[in-house]
Amino acid sequence: MSQDRSDISDDNQFKGEVAKEKLIAAEGHISAVRLILVIINILVYLLFVTPENATPWLAYPMMTFSLVYSLYYVFYRPYLRYPSLLNSYFTTLTDGAFIVGWIVATGISESPFYLLWCLSIVAVSQRYSFSETMLISVIFAATDLTLINIDIDAPVPRAELAVRVLYIPITGLLGAYFSSEISGQIRDKLKTQESETKARKAEKQARGLLDDLNEQIAEKIKAEKELLKMQKTLEDKVRERTVDLEEVNKELKKEITAKEKIENEQQKTLEKLEEINKELESFAYVTSHDLKAPLRGISTLSDWLYNDYADKLGDDAKEKLGLIKKRTQRMNELIEGILEYSKAGKTKENPRKIDTLQLINEVLGLLNPPEHIAIKVNENLPFVFANQTQMLQIFENLISNSIKYMDKEKGKIEIGFNEENDGGYFYVKDNGVGIPIKNQEKIFDMFQTLASQKSTESTGIGLAVARKLVNGMGGKIWVESKPKEGSTFMFKLPKTILGHHKHIRNT
């Protein structure tokens, strides 16, 4: 297909070349003839005939311009330089202007020039086709006749009029003779060629655009393919991650199940411990009661023996019975001690805000220390958030111990609180009997007293109970002591109990 087209265009091009040559030749003729006519017109005008109706102000410039224009066309040949001039309307206009201009410049009705005017038409006829030339002559004639009618000053004689009328067809025919059908066709063809060139240019442009478009489409398709690839990669990655996540999830679930299992076991252990605790409680309770009953019997019977057979028993027997009695009492106290110890810390009380200063004063009221002991209670005793009964028991045990083991005539007991960075500790300080270092740990054990176990009233559970209570609250109890000089019992409690202990007291 494209080959055909190029053939035709080549053909056209060749034809075009030939046509062009013909036109150029025609232009050459016309320019030459025109130059001659112009020179003749000028010579005639200047030398021989001065037309009556001439318009000198137009004629002279007209003549100059025509001469120059014609010379320019002959020697400069602009149609070679500007091929478009060959078939442009510009040339047509100049031809028309030339002829009309002469007519007007040289006066309308002057017959000598009339011939020249006709010749001018003939001269340019080569540029035009037959039909075009006829048309030009008709227009010329119509113009002439119109102008004649307008010119009333010099009526034209009939004979002249007739000749002029005759000239028109003759001119037309002559012109037509010289006109070149080919020139017209060639001009048309050139015009077509031009439009074809234009069309081809447009086609090329369009093709160019199409190529661009195709390129863009190809790029777009490429980009889409890339995108699809990336999408697929992404999907794969997502799938991978999902699988990973699922695995992690499984692991986590396993861990959670394991953890739950451990928690369950912990819970079970806790419940077991509570159960055991309750059992121990009731065990201690039951045991102490069951132990007390026969004890009561022994005590009662020994009393009755002593009373009923007093006269029959010797002093020795009476003393022995007395010892039996004392032992039973001791055992009773021990059992009471066990009971008390097991009960310690088991109250169902809720913790509340307690003024320890007030509490200690209560304890002192209960214990009623003897007069030879001076008691000092420090004002800086704080508020605590704890179980009231337990706090009472701790202070009661510590203070009653200090009273019990006071061997000095001028006894001193000081009770207070020392503040420290991480909280602080309570203290009960006495100048009593003191505790040897080797015993300072033991005294917190059950049934430990300083004196002989058989003689003293104390059962030795006071400190054991105090320690149980303090440890139960999460605290710590200890002693510093110098034998013969005195002892300081101290205990600290956790921050949750001490809290913000700087409350202002309304003293």
Interacting residues toward other proteins by CB under 8 A: 285, 289, 292-293, 295-297, 299-301, 303-304, 328-329, 332
344 SS3 class: coil
Query: Exposure pattern of 34-57 as b/e (b: 16+ CB <10 Å)?
Result: bbebbeebbebbeeebebeebeee
Beta bridge partners of 137: none
Closest CB 274 distance from other proteins, rounded Å: 19
- Helix ranges (H only) for 344-414 are 356-367, 388-404
Closest CB 401 distance from other proteins, rounded Å: 25
Is the Cβ of residue 14 or residue 304 nearer to other proteins in the bound state? Answer: 304
Task: Give me the helix-helix angle, 315-343 and 181-308, nearest 10°.
Answer: 170
Closest CB 442 distance from other proteins, rounded Å: 29
Is the Cβ of residue 176 or residue 295 nearer to other proteins in the bound state? Answer: 295
Side chain identity at 310, as an amino acid letter? A
505 SS3 class: coil
Residue tagged 């009923």 (tokens): 308
Closest CB 289 distance from other proteins, rounded Å: 6
377 SS3 class: strand
Closest CB 473 distance from other proteins, rounded Å: 25
CA–CA separation, 423 and 401 (whole Å): 26
Closest CB 330 distance from other proteins, rounded Å: 11
CA–CA separation, 333 and 230 (whole Å): 89
151 SS3 class: coil
Closest CB 411 distance from other proteins, rounded Å: 32
* Pairing of the two strands 486-492 and 423-430: antiparallel
Closest CB 393 distance from other proteins, rounded Å: 18
Beta bridge partners of 232: none
Is the Cβ of residue 197 or residue 332 nearer to other proteins in the bound state? Answer: 332
Is the Cβ of residue 295 or residue 463 nearer to other proteins in the bound state? Answer: 295
Is the Cβ of residue 258 or residue 301 nearer to other proteins in the bound state? Answer: 301
137's enclosing H/E stretch is helix 130-150
Is the Cβ of residue 331 or residue 377 nearer to other proteins in the bound state? Answer: 331
CA–CA separation, 413 and 488 (whole Å): 9
Closest CB 293 distance from other proteins, rounded Å: 6
CA–CA separation, 68 and 85 (whole Å): 18
Is the Cβ of residue 297 or residue 474 nearer to other proteins in the bound state? Answer: 297
Query: Exposure pattern of 81-119 as b/e (b: 16+ CB <10 Å)?
Result: eeeebbbeeebeebbeebbebbbbbbbbbbeebbebbbb
Beta bridge partners of 479: 489
Is the Cβ of residue 307 or residue 368 nearer to other proteins in the bound state? Answer: 307
Is the Cβ of residue 151 or residue 303 nearer to other proteins in the bound state? Answer: 303
